[in-house]
Amino acid sequence: MTAKPPVKRSLVFFLVRDFTMVAFATALEPLRIANRMLGYEAYQWRLASVDGKPVAASNGVLCSVNTSLDDERRKMSGQDRPSMVVVCSGINVETAGTKTIYAWLREEYNRGVAIGGLCTGAYILAAAGLLSNKRCAIHWENLPGFSEAFPKANVFADLFEVDQNIYTCAGGTAALDLMLKLIGDDFDDSLVNRVCEQVLTDRVRSPTDRQRLPLRARLGVQNSKVLTIIELMEANLSEPLSLIEIADHVGLSRRQIERLFRQEMGRSPARYYLEIRLDRARHLLIQSSLPVVEVAVACGFVSASHFSKCYRELYARSPQQERVDRKQLLAA
């Protein structure tokens, strides 16, 4: 009987400027540990950048690389072609991609290479045209702008998603969960458990585990009715519910809801609802190129003038100025 050949997988981690170090490290380390547990190099990797020069992470740390994009193009047709390319990005991802990067990713994918994205990497994959009708995950902070920019992508606020040969995760420690999934598919749960013990984590999270803290912990609110109302508000931002509709849904009177919000949140339900809609609007202004009027509509405002007035009252600047400040920051 012929012995089954050992699993060997080669990866290219493509570093984009301002990539998130924690996602990169928690993706790479499980592979190193798996090799140590197995006693051979089941996983090999190299780091790449556009020009082969070091790349600064969002924390300012410079990371040297092994190859450039041109080098990787030459390796595509030879024995050094990787089995997987992982795009590592982070903040300012909206301006990080280029036509050259997108073309390279499409070429790799069309040759059967798996493509992954860490943190905001899904943005670059979507811009390359690889996420149409594909399930994907992205960091919760970038989800509103991503959804508006790429409506054909099936994006979820999950820790990670695997759809055929596309792997995406929300970043942070979710990169660990994605790589544990990869290791488990290549080997078995025994190896996954040994890696978990080495990195001092007591379980493998499922793809659909929440990215953010539960509302109860995030807001410091204990009243279940208030939490239910806030969940309703967050799920209905483009077409806000009336207080009467909310009251009918939770079985309370308008007066009871008003009193509960004053006690728990320190403001009226209408004010709180407005603030979370404006928070979503701010994310859209920063992360997308949608016209201000479309941002207003997406966040439930009947007119751009009313939206601008409310925005200025909360953030002490207009939506247009928010965009100008963001562009100046990126250019600095």
Where are the chain's structural domains? Answer: 9-198, 215-331
Q: How many CB atoms lie within 10 A of CB 18?
A: 20
Residue 329 or 23, more confident:
23
Q: Return the minimum-mean-pLDDT range out of 43-52, 107-116, 122-131, 148-157.
A: 148-157
The CATH class for the domain spanning 9-198 reads alpha beta
Chain-wide mean pLDDT for the chain? 91
| pLDDT (0 to 100) of residue 153 | 95
108-136 burial: b if 16+ Cβ within 10 Å, else e? bbeeebbbbbbbbbbbbbbbbebbeebbb
For residues 267-274, give the mean pLDDT. 95
Element spanning 156, H or E: strand 154-156
Residue 251 falls in which region: left (phi positive, over 0), alpha (psi -120 to 50) or beta: left
| pLDDT digits 0-9 by tens, 288-325 | 778 899 999 999 999 999 999 999 999 999 999 988 87
**pTM listed for this prediction:** 0.78
Question: Is 3 a residue whose pLDDT tops 70?
Answer: no
| pLDDT (0 to 100) of residue 213 | 66
Closest to 158 measured CA to CA, from 218, 189, 172: 172
Residue 222 or 210, more confident:
222
| pLDDT (0 to 100) of residue 4 | 57
For residues 16-41, give the mean pLDDT. 96
Sorting pLDDT into bands at 50, 70 and 90, what band is 2?
very low
Question: Is 330 a residue whose pLDDT tops 60?
Answer: no
Tell me how far apart the alpha carbons of residues 62 and 204 are, in angstroms, rounded to a whole number.
31
| Identity of the residue numbered 306 | H
Question: Is 125 a residue whose pLDDT tops 50?
Answer: yes
| pLDDT (0 to 100) of residue 126 | 97
Q: Tokens 């004010």, residue?
A: 271
9-198 against 215-331: fold identical: no
For residues 63-82, give the mean pLDDT. 94
What dihedral angle (degrees, nearest 10) is formed by the CA atoms of 253, 280, 151, 296? 90
Question: Is 331 a residue whose pLDDT tops 50?
Answer: yes
Architecture per CATH, 215-331: Orthogonal Bundle (1.10)
Percent of the chain exceeding pLDDT 70 equals 95
| pLDDT (0 to 100) of residue 1 | 40
For residues 3-29, give the mean pLDDT. 90
